[in-house]
């Protein structure tokens, strides 16, 4: 188990270094922050002073070395737009994204596992066909289209729910519901397929021959052995949400890290972009390690 964890941590560390190098140099290709932050009538002297103040006149390799040195001291720099530590700006947005992701993926995982398991118990039945159609529609529906339709129907026409913000529980209903649909369809299909395969195993036939109840067969004998591919898909979807549900956060005005990254790229706020990518990358690496640990718990063969 320790060897498994050490290997994953080491590979994640090198991946993080590669990500830092790539994002640092690519972000510098988006343009000059001085031209964006200062007014059009700014003189060349004002532009030079701005670049010198923020170290933008130095060669890229010098800027990169300085950034790595600051990063070694856990200094992510200062936001050009907000004039405060970039990590503080990012963590504020990440807290909202983390809450949205945890709530949504918890509901998705529970609903998909329960419904998919029941549907797989009688493949080809009415419930199985109905859930298959629903899951395929959900997996195929574009997030932006569903979000716009939901706003028009429930916020504009019916006036049941607010269109944006995070002030009350009702502000969370539309973002969570829209973000729920696509991963629910994908995970439900995986659960159904994996459970159908497991139902054909000898241990399930033996349990049925012994008179074990249907619920015990589904949720005790079969589900654990069918969970490995399901955990993979759940982990992928959770990682995607932690990376920032950019479309959903933008449409609903949700103050998450995905919207923050888009705004920071457009504003050329390099330190915030790098800090946001660092935080989300670390969260995704931790998520992957947890998935590997779940594999090892469910399947002892993984430990070796």
pLDDT reported for residue 302: 61
C-alpha 268 chain-centroid distance: 23
**Residue 85 bridge partners (DSSP):** 78
CB atoms within 10 A of CB 145: 11
What gap in Å lies between CA 4 and CA 144, rounded to an integer?
39
What gap in Å lies between CA 71 and CA 53, rounded to an integer?
19
Closest CA to 233 of 279, 193, 177: 193
- The pTM score is 0.77
What gap in Å lies between CA 72 and CA 69, rounded to an integer?
5
The set of residues, in sequence order, having a beta carbon less than 8 Å from that of 199 and lying 6+ positions away, is 120, 121, 217, 222
Say which residue the tokens 């021959």 belong to: 209
Full set of structural domains in the chain with CATH: 86-303 (1.10.3720.10)
Helix (H, G, I), strand (E, B) or coil at 56: coil
The set of residues, in sequence order, having a beta carbon less than 8 Å from that of 87 and lying 6+ positions away, is 76, 275, 279
Closest CA to 90 of 259, 220, 285: 259
Structure tokens that stand for 185 in this block: 């369809």
What gap in Å lies between CA 211 and CA 295, rounded to an integer?
30
The model's pLDDT over 117-157, given as tens digits with 9 standing for 90+, comes to 888 878 878 888 898 888 888 888 888 888 888 888 888 88
Within the chain, which residues score under 50 in pLDDT? Answer: none
| Residues found in the chain | 304
pLDDT reported for residue 107: 92
- Answer whether 289's CB lies under 8 Å from 100's CB: no
Phi and psi for 161 in degrees, rounded to 5? -130, 150
pLDDT reported for residue 300: 65
Long-range contact pairs involving 111-115 (C-beta distance under 8 Å, separation at least 24): 111/184, 111/188, 112/183, 112/184, 112/187, 112/188, 112/191, 113/187, 113/191, 113/223, 113/230, 115/188, 115/191
Closest CA to 90 of 252, 242, 239, 251: 242
Q: Is 211 left (phi over 0), alpha (psi -120 to 50) or beta?
A: left
The model's pLDDT over 154-185, given as tens digits with 9 standing for 90+, comes to 888 888 888 877 778 888 888 899 889 888 98
Structure tokens that stand for 261 in this block: 């990254």
pLDDT reported for residue 108: 92
CB atoms within 10 A of CB 169: 7
Structure tokens that stand for 113 in this block: 């596992």
The set of residues, in sequence order, having a beta carbon less than 8 Å from that of 41 and lying 6+ positions away, is none
pLDDT reported for residue 213: 72
């Amino acid at each position: 188990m320790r060897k498994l964890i050490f290997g994953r941590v080491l590979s994640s560390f090198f991946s993080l270094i590669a990500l830092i190098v790539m994002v640092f140099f690519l972000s510098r290709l988006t343009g000059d922050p001085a031209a964006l932050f200062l007014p059009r009538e700014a003189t060349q002297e004002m532009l030079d002073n701005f670049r010198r103040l923020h170290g933008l006149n130095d060669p890229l390799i010098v800027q990169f070395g300085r950034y790595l040195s600051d990063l070694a001291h856990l200094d992510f720099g200062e936001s050009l737009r907000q004039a405060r530590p970039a990590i503080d700006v990012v963590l504020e947005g990440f807290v909202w994204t983390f809450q949205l992701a945890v709530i949504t993926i918890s509901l998705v995982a529970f609903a998909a596992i329960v419904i998919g398991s029941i549907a797989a118990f009688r493949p080809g039945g009415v419930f199985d066909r109905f859930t298959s159609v629903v899951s395929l529609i959900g997996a195929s529906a574009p997030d932006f289209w569903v979000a716009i339709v939901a706003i028009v129907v429930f916020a504009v026409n019916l006036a049941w729910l607010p269109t944006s913000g995070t002030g009350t529980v009702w502000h969370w209903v539309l973002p969570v519901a829209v973000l729920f649909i696509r991963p629910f369809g994908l995970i439900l299909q995986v659960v159904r397929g994996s459970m159908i395969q497991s139902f054909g195993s000898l241990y399930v036939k033996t349990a049925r021959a012994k008179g074990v109840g249907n619920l015990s067969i589904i949720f005790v004998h079969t589900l654990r052995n069918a969970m490995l591919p399901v955990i993979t898909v759940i982990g992928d979807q959770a990682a995607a949400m932690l990376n920032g549900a950019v479309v959903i956060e933008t449409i609903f005005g949700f103050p998450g890290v995905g919207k923050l990254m888009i705004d920071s790229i457009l504003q050329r706020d390099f330190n915030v972009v790098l800090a946001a990518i660092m935080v989300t990358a670390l969260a995704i690496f931790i998520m992957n390690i947890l998935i590997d640990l779940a594999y090892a718990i469910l399947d002892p063969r993984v430990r070796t």
